């Protein structure tokens, strides 16, 4: 279906779209062009990412480019659509959700051969908007921009931010806020909830197509639905372990916010912890602590069990046999996660090889940190930098731990410092910095946002000129809650 009348095709934008999702049957999506906005203005273009994707930053920054990033112009070759999905939200099943404020423009195959979705978030209402306005406010757009790019720099799989534009229109979220659109880039936007949508309708044919599509895009080595499940289990285990290694709390691990690709997706009320506490929750809507820091692996396997359920008809025509195979794959998760968690945390205390007592040794340090809610990032970085007691107040407790730690280090080869520096970032997107950057941007000053992005590009480097960005928040700077990006 062609885009509606107000659109003109850009002459300067040559994007080699290849839209494999749009080629899936009509029940996978709704053709929907973005709804134009009043006055698009570019806030930021991720020129590095544009180049990596084989896109011309100059063209993206041109008038046509900005119009495209705002949804005012649909480039040639795009096949704009809203994806449909379902999902368990805080444990309750919603049989139909879908992109309520996001439009998938299409896919490009980047010069390195990987396929990437280009999606506009905040691009206007769709048939899945329910009561929402289809728009995004500036604050959440900048938050997702900062946090997703920081996540990428930390080496953790994530969707990325290609651009942020303002719309010249206001949105209403209790108060009037400036509107914005984020251009999000992802390996795909296929979610556990996408499978659930078709499973809830007993549409086995669609499940078969979706499974084949997901395998081709993300796990070409997978031999079938059961193997797809195993790959997603492995990817999610690794992802959650990596989140935990940097003190990240996703905040809304609903099944519609879990990507089959294993990328971090849907940055809403997420945050990096300052003071360490395993039950930390930031989301203003997570009163029960369902998605607390230390519960994320449990929630991942809960979601993966939902995925397994959707795949049963593809795993084996004999339902009992399918359940047995799916269950066996799920039961491997605790062991896989334990291994992934150790693979993340061992280097954080300088370990290069494996010994039986390592998990206990790491947990003893975490317990010391938790008792005084020591800053997660700074404590591990202090360990890497050899700061006495790693900056902990309980010096006696640390020294007692360090006796065993040093004995453990002595049983392996080589100095641990470089390993620890590479595993323990100095810079994370601290909430108070993110909030300050958003506040300033709202008042028209983009300098703090730009500066923060620049510092977070090199999280493992010392950057002595930017040491202030390492500081934990003072009590009055502390952010205790983050809000959904709606
Ligand atoms: P989230 O909790 O942000 O992952 O969003 C859950 C669902 O609500 C998704 O299907 C979104 O597309 C939809 N949604 C969120 N914000 C809006 C909005 N402002 N307008 C329409 N739909 C929205
Ligand atoms: Mg979502």
User: Helix or strand or coil: residue 277?
Assistant: coil
End-to-end CA gap in the chain: 29
- Kindly report, residue by residue over 428-466, the tens digit of the pLDDT: 999 999 999 999 999 999 999 999 999 999 999 999 999
Assigned domain for 159 exists = yes
Element (H, E) at 441: helix 431-442
Burial class of residue 403 (count of CB atoms within 10 Å of its CB; 0-12, 13-18, 19+): exposed
Indicate the residue among 130, 152, 186 that finishes a domain: 186
What gap in Å lies between CA 366 and CA 364, rounded to an integer?
5
pLDDT at residue number 472 = 95
Q: Which pTM value belongs to this model?
A: 0.96
Strand partners, 160: 185
Element (H, E) at 297: helix 296-315
8-state DSSP, 388: G
pLDDT at residue number 479 = 82
Mean pLDDT to the nearest integer, 367-395: 97
Phi, psi values for residue 401, rounded to 5°:
-65, -40
Indicate the residue among 134, 167, 186 that finishes a domain: 186
Q: Is pLDDT of 286 > 90? A: no
The sign of the CA dihedral 375, 380, 383, 385 is: negative
Mean pLDDT to the nearest integer, 404-423: 95
What gap in Å lies between CA 208 and CA 211, rounded to an integer?
5
Assigned domain for 150 exists = yes
Query: pLDDT band for position 5 (50/70/90)?
Result: very low
Strand partners, 104: 81, 119
- Pocket test of ligand 1: the residue of 101, 136, 252 to mutate, having most ligand atoms within 8 Å of its CB, is 101
What is the β-pairing status of strands 136-137 and 175-186?
A: antiparallel
Q: Of 142, 140, 144, 165, which Cα lies nearest the Cα of 62?
A: 165
Pocket lining: 181 vs ligand 1, CB cutoff 6 Å: no
- Give the number of domains in the chain: 2
Q: Of 154, 175, 363, 159, which Cα lies nearest the Cα of 242?
A: 154
- Kindly report, residue by residue over 117-173, the tens digit of the pLDDT: 999 999 999 999 999 999 999 999 999 999 999 999 999 999 999 999 999 999 999
Indicate the residue among 403, 423, 443 that finishes a domain: 423
Assigned domain for 171 exists = yes
Dig out the tokens for 271 from the structure: 């945050």
The range of the structural domain enclosing residue 91 comes to 7-186
Within 13 Å, how many C-alpha atoms sit on residue 376's CB side? 22
Pocket lining: 96 vs ligand 1, CB cutoff 6 Å: no
- Which of the residues are catalytic? 256
Assigned domain for 484 exists = no
User: Helix or strand or coil: residue 147?
Assistant: helix
Atom 15 in ligand 1: residue holding the nearest Cα: 486
- Kindly report, residue by residue over 301-347, the tens digit of the pLDDT: 999 999 999 999 999 999 999 999 999 999 999 999 999 999 999 99
Residue 2 C-alpha from the chain's centroid: 32
pLDDT at residue number 11 = 58
Average pLDDT, the chain: 95
Assigned domain for 433 exists = no
Q: Of 249, 299, 279, which Cα lies nearest the Cα of 366?
A: 279
Mean pLDDT to the nearest integer, 416-437: 97
C-alpha dist (Å) from residue 449 to 48, 258, 264, 452: 17, 28, 22, 5
Assigned domain for 113 exists = yes
pLDDT at residue number 3 = 44
pLDDT at residue number 414 = 87
The ligand whose atoms approach the alpha carbon of 83 most closely is 1
> Which ligand 1 atom sits nearest the alpha carbon of residue 99?
12
Assigned domain for 460 exists = no
What gap in Å lies between CA 11 and CA 289, rounded to an integer?
51
Element (H, E) at 160: strand 160-173
Q: Is pLDDT of 206 > 90? A: yes
Per the CB < 8 A criterion, the answer to whether 227 and 459 are in contact is: no
Q: What percent of the chain is modeled with pLDDT above 90?
A: 91
Non-local (6+) Cβ contacts of 236 within 8 A are 258, 262, 300, 303, 304
- Kindly report, residue by residue over 228-276, the tens digit of the pLDDT: 999 999 999 999 999 999 999 999 999 999 999 999 999 988 999 999 9
pLDDT at residue number 283 = 83
Pocket lining: 127 vs ligand 1, CB cutoff 6 Å: no
Phi, psi values for residue 123, rounded to 5°:
-95, 20
Distance from residue 58's CA to the centre of ligand 2 (Å): 31
Query: pLDDT band for position 2 (50/70/90)?
Result: very low
Pocket lining: 372 vs ligand 1, CB cutoff 6 Å: no
Mean pLDDT to the nearest integer, 104-124: 98
Distance from residue 265's CA to the centre of ligand 1 (Å): 13
Assigned domain for 118 exists = yes
Mean pLDDT to the nearest integer, 414-428: 96
């Amino acid at each position: 279906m062609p885009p509606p009348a107000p659109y003109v095709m850009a002459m300067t934008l040559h994007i080699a779209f290849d839209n494999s999702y749009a080629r899936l049957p009509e029940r996978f999506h709704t053709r929907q062009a973005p709804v134009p906005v009043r006055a698009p203005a570019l806030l930021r273009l991720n020129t590095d990412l544009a180049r990596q994707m084989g896109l011309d930053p100059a063209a993206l920054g041109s008038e046509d480019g900005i119009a495209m990033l705002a949804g005012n112009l649909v480039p040639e070759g795009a096949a704009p659509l809203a994806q449909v999905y379902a999902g368990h939200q805080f444990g309750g099943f919603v049989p139909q959700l879908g992109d309520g404020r996001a439009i998938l423009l299409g896919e490009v195959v980047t010069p390195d051969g990987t396929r990437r979705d280009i999606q506009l978030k905040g691009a206007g209402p769709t048939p899945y908007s329910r009561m929402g306005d289809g728009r995004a406010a500036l604050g959440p757009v900048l938050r997702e921009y900062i946090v997703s790019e920081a996540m990428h720099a930390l080496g953790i799989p994530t969707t990325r931010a290609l651009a942020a534009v303002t719309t010249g229109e206001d949105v209403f979220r209790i108060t009037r806020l400036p509107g914005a659109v984020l251009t999000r880039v992802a390996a795909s936007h296929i979610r556990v909830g996408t499978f659930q949508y078709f499973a809830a309708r007993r549409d086995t044919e669609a499940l078969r197509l979706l499974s084949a599509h997901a395998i081709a895009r993300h796990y070409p080595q997978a031999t079938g639905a059961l193997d797809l499940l195993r790959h997603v289990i492995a990817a999610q285990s690794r992802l959650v372990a990596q989140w935990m290694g940097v003190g990240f709390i996703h905040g809304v691990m609903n099944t519609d916010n879990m990507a089959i690709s294993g990328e971090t997706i849907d940055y809403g009320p997420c945050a990096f912890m300052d003071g360490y506490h395993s039950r930390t929750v930031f989301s203003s809507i997570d009163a029960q602590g369902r998605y607390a820091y230390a519960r994320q692996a449990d929630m991942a396997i809960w979601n993966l069990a939902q995925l397994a359920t959707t795949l049963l008809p593809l795993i084996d025509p004999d339902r009992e046999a399918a359940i047995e195979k799916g269950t066996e794959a799920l039961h491997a998760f605790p062991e896989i996660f334990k291994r992934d968690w150790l693979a993340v945390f061992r280097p954080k205390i300088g370990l290069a090889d494996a010994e039986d007592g390592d998990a206990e040794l790491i947990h003893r340090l975490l317990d010391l940190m938790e008792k005084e809610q020591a800053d997660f990032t700074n404590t591990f970085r202090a360990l890497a930098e050899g700061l006495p007691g790693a900056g902990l107040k309980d010096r006696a407790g640390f020294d007692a731990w360090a006796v065993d730690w040093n004995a453990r280090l002595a049983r392996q080869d080589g100095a641990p410092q470089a390993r620890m520096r590479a595993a323990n970032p100095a810079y994370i997107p601290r909430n108070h910095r993110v909030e300050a950057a958003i506040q300033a941007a709202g008042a028209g000053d983009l300098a703090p946002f730009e500066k923060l992005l620049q510092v977070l590009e090199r999280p493992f480097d010392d950057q002595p000129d930017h040491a202030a960005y390492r500081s934990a928040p003072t009590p009055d700077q502390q952010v205790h809650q983050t809000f959904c990006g709606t």
